[in-house]
Amino acid sequence: MKEFDKYKSVGLNGDFEILIGSSKTCTICLTEKEVPEIAKKHAVLKRIRDRLFIKDFASKSGTFIDNHRLPKNSWEEIIQQGFKEIKLGNTPIGIDAQLFRGRPRIGIKTTALHYDISGKIVCNGAYIQAQPGSMTAIMGPAGCGKSILLDLINGYRTPNSGKVFAIRDNIPINVHHDYSLVREWLGYLPQDDVMIPELTVYQSLNYCLRLQFTCLNQQIREYIIRQTCQNLGFDQVRLEKFLHTVIGSAESGIRGLSGGERKRANLAHELIAMPLVLLLDEPTSGLSSVDADKIVRLLQKLTQLDDLTTIATIHQPSRDTFERFDNLLLMNYDGTVIYYGSTAQAVPYFEFVTETTNTDRNPAEYLLEILDKSDYNNKLINGIAKEQFKFIMPL
Ligand SMILES: Nc1ncnc2c1ncn2[C@@H]1O[C@H](COP(=O)(O)OP(=O)(O)O)[C@@H](O)[C@H]1O
Ligand SMILES: [Mg+2]
């Protein structure tokens, strides 16, 4: 097999388009000896964020993925674990693993954040340290400041004190100072979506891609839309129906998507931009526990597969859904943190501090009930001071 070491000299940060052929003008210039029957302009490799596409330029000997000859002049995605061999004519070529990952992963780290609205403290020392590949749940009673905390992390609001950093290659980048750099990495799903009810899902996603990536051609856009929605759990038949349904809304009087479909359409708008950090405000609200778990399972899959940093506020998750999160940030009514550590240790910690037992109940319900009982307040505050560090996992 011919290893394409020549790629390494091309400079592989960010998006690229690499022309392969025998012509001197190609980025990768190959001789007839190296690849018999190579065309002057044979094929082109294109990377958009973390996705790699290939196109054959109507070459005589063709370009093949696992012996399937690519149609002429049409883009096909190369999926890292999805192929065995790529050939130019009869010559196999090696595709370096680093070609599939266009960007370093991004973690999130904050110092203690403080924020008030007209003098009322709504964030009182909350902080987050989230690694790529991890899922963090933010829970707490209604009005405790979960959405505000997400807004502070995503750069929409600036804390009165405290800092938010995106961590890239171990270098902290201040989200509020360098917002223009960081914003491309952040995907934010607001609790109330802002989709245009008159459009079909396909039209809306297509506009969204056109606005964000001016250089993508229609064929790649179409591909990204379909693939993203398939990842969201639609099979071929349901996918067509979903894409061609009008979004609709109660206010506009246009009947459209169901609640679960609407959440997924909303999520698709974020995912097509290929964010590295996913901030989600109640991605499961209004859904049945089965649909809610489907969404969180999907987020878990994407987080692990793409090494995303996922942080979601969540309301009343089922036990299964709760356990899909690696870490839990539990907030109290006054915008303070009452627990921040591994999800698995949360119940044992509160059992210890409050001297109660949860037995088989839903962990989320147990935790929120404890916050609701003011007689535990002192115990919890003292518990935080004395005991929490025993339980909190190192992040
Ligand atoms: N724009 C606003 N103006 C005044 N108060 C607000 C505003 N947004 C949120 N708050 C208050 O801040 C607190 C936290 O709100 P929020 O983060 O939305 O809570 P939740 O935990 O339910 O997401 C609440 O008491 C809310 O009333
Ligand atoms: Mg909220």
From 144, 191, 334, 338, give the residue whose CB has the most ligand 1 atoms within 8 Å, as the site to mutate: 144
Tell me how far the alpha carbon of residue 132 lies from the centroid of ligand 1, in angstroms: 28
The residue ranking higher by pLDDT, 122 or 51, is 122
Residue 23 pLDDT > 80: yes
pLDDT of residue 159: 97
Instruction: Give the ligand whose atoms come closest to the C-alpha of residue 139.
Output: 1
Q: pLDDT band at 380, cuts 50/70/90?
A: low
C-alpha pair distances (Å), 98 with each of 10, 12, 18: 12, 8, 14
Is the pLDDT higher at 361 or at 107?
A: 107
Average pLDDT over every residue of 89-95:
89
Q: Which ligand is nearest to the CA of 141?
A: 1
Residues 6+ apart with CB under 8 A from 361: none
Convert the pLDDT of each residue in 59-72 to its tens digit: 999 999 998 999 99
pLDDT of res. 379: 65
Q: Give per-residue pLDDT as tens, 215-269.
A: 788 888 998 999 889 888 888 889 999 999 999 988 888 899 988 889 899 999 9
Q: Which secondary-structure segment (H or E) carries 91?
A: strand 91-94
User: What pLDDT score was predicted for residue 385?
Assistant: 46
**How confident is the model over 97-109, as a mean pLDDT?**
87
Could you tell me which CATH number the domain at 2-100 has?
Answer: 2.60.200.20
Question: In this structure, what token pair is assigned to residue 179?
Answer: 């917002």
CATH class label, 106-185+320-391: alpha beta
**Predicted local distance difference test score (pLDDT) of residue 377:** 67
Look at 312 and 50; give whichever has higher pLDDT.
312
Q: What are residue 330's phi and psi, to 5 degrees?
A: -105, 125
The yes-or-no verdict on residue 3 having pLDDT over 80 is no
DSSP 35-70: STT--SS-EEEEEETTEEEEEE-S-SS-EEETTEEP
Q: What is the mean pLDDT of the chain?
A: 88
Q: Which of 113, 114, 122 gets mutated to test ligand 1 (max ligand atoms within 8 A of its CB)?
A: 122
- Domain layout of the chain by residue ranges: 2-100, 106-185+320-391
Q: Whose CA is nearest to atom 20 of ligand 1?
A: 143
Give the pLDDT score at 382: 58
Residue 393 pLDDT greater than 50, yes or no: no
Residue 335 CA: nearest ligand 1 atom is 14
Alpha carbon separation from 36 to 26, 27, 39, 90 (Å, rounded): 16, 18, 9, 8
pLDDT in tens, 328-372: 999 988 888 989 999 999 999 888 888 888 888 899 999 988 888
Q: Show the tokens assigned to 53.
A: 């596409």
Which ligand neighbours the alpha carbon of 146 most closely? 1
Nearest to 194 by CA among 244, 271, 249: 249
Give dist(CA 369, CA 372) in Å, integer. 5
Q: For 236-245, which contacts have Cβ atoms below 8 Å and span 24 or more sequence positions?
A: 242/201, 243/200, 243/201, 243/202, 243/205, 244/200, 244/201, 244/202, 245/200, 245/201
**Mind listing the pLDDT tens digit for each residue in 131-167?**
999 999 999 999 999 999 999 999 999 999 999 999 9
CATH topology match: 2-100 vs 106-185+320-391? no
pLDDT tens digits, 284-302: 988 888 889 989 999 999 9
Closest Cα to residue 332, out of 125, 192, 191? 125
Q: What is the DSSP string of 107-174?
A: EEEE--EEEEETTEEEEEEE--EE-TT-EEEEE-STTSSHHHHHHHHTTSS--SB--EEEEETTEEEE
Ligand 1 pocket by C-beta < 6 Å: which residues? 117, 122, 140, 142-148
pTM, 2 dp: 0.85
Looking from the CA of residue 191, the nearest atom of ligand 1 is 23
In whole angstroms, give the CA distance from residue 307 to residue 2: 30
169-218 pLDDT, tens digit per residue, is 999 999 999 999 999 999 999 988 889 999 999 999 999 999 988 878 88
Give tens-digit pLDDT for 69-88. 999 998 988 987 778 889 99
Confidence at residue 12, expressed as pLDDT on a 0 to 100 scale: 58
Task: Name the more confident of 235 and 389.
Answer: 235
- pLDDT > 70 fraction of the chain, expressed in percent and rounded: 91
Check pLDDT > 80 for residue 115: yes
312 in Cβ contact with 283 (< 8 Å): yes
